[in-house]
């Protein structure tokens, strides 16, 4: 099973080298593609200097566009799965082999590394935690499938979904797209994980932006996913 780790990166020069080195050490058989999302710093130069494949977008296009770029690369080069892997150091590479094993053993389309499962369950606190619980409830309401950690950005997608992400309109690696994919027949599994604190850069989900994200995601699950094609 050929797996490509797609690492969208925007102004992550402080941590990108460590993130990539940790990923390579933990998963030497997984190939890595950095998608430099219009960074104004040395993110791309650091990645290339360390020997990693790197595609640079001319401007900051956002996660959906960066991930779609990676999926197109994976499809063109014959990969069997794509892992969405954060550049900021939050995702722990040691869980990726477990995710790959789960996809192979159970023939599922999506494997989510869930912070809400296992003995070390972390959950998500504060407003984000409430939003995550609401999104989980809405996904279950509209699909009948329970996703414990729908806002986890640590996901593995199988090749059957490549066309949806590579060619679809407004389809990104987000909870609302996950709900839509389930309704199209995608099978989802979760495996336990823990996540580290952000090691560098700045999250785009801050203050009002975080609230707007939750509202938009909930509306997409309740309304807009029904008219997607």
pLDDT single digits (tens) 68-79:
999 999 999 999
* pLDDT confidence band for 86 (50 / 70 / 90): very high
Q: Which segments within the chain are labelled E, that is strand?
A: 3-9, 31-37, 53-57, 81-84, 110-114, 155-158, 188-192
* pLDDT confidence band for 45 (50 / 70 / 90): very high
Q: pLDDT at position 229, please?
A: 58
Structure tokens at 177: 């797209």
Residue scoring higher pLDDT (229 or 63): 63
Strand arrangement of the beta sheet that strand 53-57 belongs to: 53-57, 31-37, 3-9, 81-84, 155-158, 110-114, 188-192
Q: Where do the domains of the chain lie?
A: 3-227
Nearest residue to 127 via CA among 66, 212, 38, 194: 212
Residue scoring higher pLDDT (204 or 53): 53
Lowest mean pLDDT among 33-47, 62-76, 126-140: 126-140
Residue range 167-210, pLDDT digits in tens: 987 788 899 999 999 999 999 999 999 998 765 555 555 556 77
pTM of the model: 0.89
Q: pLDDT at position 76, please?
A: 98
35, 9 Cβ separation under 8 angstroms: yes
Task: Give ∠ CA 154-89-18 in degrees, rounded to 5.
Answer: 130
* pLDDT confidence band for 213 (50 / 70 / 90): confident
End-to-end CA distance of the chain: give it in Å, rounded: 29
* Adjacent-strand bridge partners of 82: 4, 157
Q: Which fold has domain 3-227?
A: Spore Coat Polysaccharide Biosynthesis Protein SpsA; Chain A (3.90.550)
Q: Residue 26 pLDDT > 60, yes or no? A: yes
């Amino acid at each position: 099973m050929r797996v490509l780790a797609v690492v969208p990166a925007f102004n992550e020069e402080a941590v990108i080298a460590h993130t990539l080195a940790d990923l390579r050490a933990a998963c030497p058989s997984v190939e890595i593609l950095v998608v430099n999302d219009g960074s104004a710093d040395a993110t791309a130069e650091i990645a290339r200097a360390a020997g990693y494949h790197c595609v640079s977008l001319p401007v900051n296009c956002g996660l959906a566009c960066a991930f779609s770029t990676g999926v197109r690369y994976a499809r063109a080069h014959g990969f069997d799965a794509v892992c969405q892997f954060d550049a900021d150091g939050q995702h722990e590479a040691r869980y990726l082999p477990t995710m790959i094993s789960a996809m192979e053993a159970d023939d599922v389309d999506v494997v989510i590394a869930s912070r809400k499962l296992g003995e070390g369950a972390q959950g998500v606190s504060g407003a984000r935690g409430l939003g995550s619980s609401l999104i989980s409830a809405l996904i279950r309401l509209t699909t009948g499938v329970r996703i414990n950690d729908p806002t986890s950005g640590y996901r593995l997608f199988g090749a059957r979904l490549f066309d949806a992400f590579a060619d679809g309109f407004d389809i990104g690696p987000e909870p609302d797209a996950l709900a839509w994919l389930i309704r199209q027949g995608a099978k989802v599994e979760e495996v336990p994980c823990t996540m580290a604190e952000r090691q560098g850069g700045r999250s785009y989900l801050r203050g009002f932006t975080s609230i707007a994200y939750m509202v938009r995601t909930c509306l997409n699950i309740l309304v807009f996913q029904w008219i997607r094609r």
